[in-house]
Chains A and B, each alone.
Chain A
Amino acid sequence: MTDIHEAFATALQLLLQLDPGLLEIVTLSLKISLSAVLLGALTGFPLGAAVALFRFPGRDLVNAGLHAFMGLPPVIAGLVVFLLLSRSGPLGPLGLLYTPAAMVIAQWLLVTPIIAALTCESATEFHRSYDEQLRSLGAGPWRTMTTVLWDGRFNLVSAALAGFGRASAEVGAVLMVGGNIHHLTRVMTTSIALETSKGNLQLALALGIVLMGLSLALNLAVIIVRDRVKQRYA
């Protein structure tokens, strides 16, 4: 219990002092996770909607793949990205390994199936309700897709939040492709792993509390905004 109390005190102290080291790690963590979620949303929303709305060869396979990859082990994602970006890999010449960009790619790989699968469920539900009416009005495939995405926007916010939860909590993949390099690729989760291995449990716990607090605050803010808008329009 003393450790936990001290960890809280240390976390509070680090936050109140706006510790530059902590801020650097928090900022980088948020940048990487939010970039991955943004990319995941840009690819996952249309992918999920396309699977829900259109019939094409291999659609069931894609759908099954999306759901299966929701639980993709981070180390597998990390390994795949590592092989792609390593010097001898197909994307090796880009020189992205052990950079924040590599970490974004790894997290994008993890969050996209989650966002796409949840989008697919939402779009399926809306499409079932809207299909005949939209066809009656004369809406084409593109208009139908944008309509079910827009009208399911509150579900999509939840999908993006689920993706952010996955990205921000992830350690294995970013450790493999980022390397946990001080001032370059060290994020909160890899810092916690490092501090724990060094026996610096208090700092590790403090970082954990900050990570949880940030995640909670972001989710709370989005949920409050979403519910207010939802009350007004839906």
Chain B
Amino acid sequence: MVASGLCFSSGDTPLLKQISLRIEHPGLSMILGPNGAGKTLFLKLCHGLLEATSGTITWNGKSAEDTRHGQAMVFQRPVLLRRSVADNIAYALGVRGIPRRERPALVTSALQRARLLPLARRSAQLLSVGEQQRLSLARAWALKPRVLLLDEPCASLDPGATLEVERMVAAIGAGGTKVIMTTHDLAQAHRLADEIVFFWQGQVLEQGPAEHFFAGPQCVEAQAFINGELAPG
């Protein structure tokens, strides 16, 4: 993924400023930064859900919108249809053009991986938030995306549910899907990240392997963020 001179503004307010970066690392790339740093906006631009004010994002030379069918995204707050757990996954498979007869097996497999199979017939609205987020991940996983974009998927989860989601994220990454995830949680970034992209006030201040970032960040803002001193960006 290559972002080049990427800017996004809301009215006169610039929210992302001249972002240029390449994400090529095969492991999990973590977009790290405080609330309001522009992480979610960047992820939505990567997925083609928003249009940049200026600049470009390309995936292997193709536009974000043209490559969306090979991607999946999970949002901070799970967005589930008012259907059963199984039907939520079947719906997504249907949208992606998977033939009807192939869907039940794929749904069952996805629910097994998410440990939600016993809840297959239950309304998705009746799940706990943790279960809903696992269902969102299972739905994304079932699509077999080449790239999975995760927007703070554990932001509203308790530690147990967070662990479950992280287990799934690790398994998805191990299966060959490129995962790009946002978080403001340093501990989570420590646990999951192979690469860190540090966002601050709509800019990318640092990018590099996770172990280098945590061992000695290059910019003062990242150092302060790691030390818990940085005001929200």
> Which residues of A come within 8 Å of B, CB atoms?
129-130, 132-139, 143, 147, 151, 232-234
Contact = CB atoms under 8 A, between A and B. Distances in A.
B123 A234 contact: yes
| 6 nearest A-B residue pairs (beta carbon) | A133-B79, A151-B82, A136-B73, A137-B95, A234-B82, A139-B95
Given A136-B47, A234-B123, A147 B81 contact: yes
Given A132-B44, A132-B75, A138 B82 contact: no
Nearest to A135: B49
Interface residues of B, number: 21
B125 interface: yes
A133 B75 contact: yes
Given A133-B75, A232-B123, A138 B81 contact: no
B82 A136 contact: no
B82 to A, nearest CB: 4
A137 B92 contact: yes
Contacts, number: 43
A182 B95 CA distance: 54
Contacts of B81: 130, 147, 151
A233 B75 contact: no
Nearest to A144: B95
B79 A129 contact: yes
A137 B96 contact: yes
B102 to A, nearest CB: 17
B116 to A, nearest CB: 17
Interface of B: 44, 47, 49, 68-69, 71-73, 75, 79, 81-84, 91-92, 95-96, 123, 125, 143
A132 B79 contact: yes
Contacts of A151: 81-83
A138 B123 contact: no
A138 B145 CA distance: 12
Contacts of A232: 123
A143 B96 CA distance: 11
Nearest to A234: B82
A233 B49 contact: no
Q: Which of A130, A134, A143, A233 neighbours the largest number of chain B CB atoms within 10 Å of its CB?
A: A233
A127 to B, nearest CB: 12
Contacts of A132: 44, 49, 75, 79
B72 A136 contact: yes
Given A130-B79, A147-B81, A234 B125 contact: yes
Nearest to B50: A132
Given A137-B96, A143-B95, A233 B83 contact: yes
B133 to A, nearest CB: 13
5 contacts: A130-B79, A132-B44, A136-B68, A137-B96, A234-B82
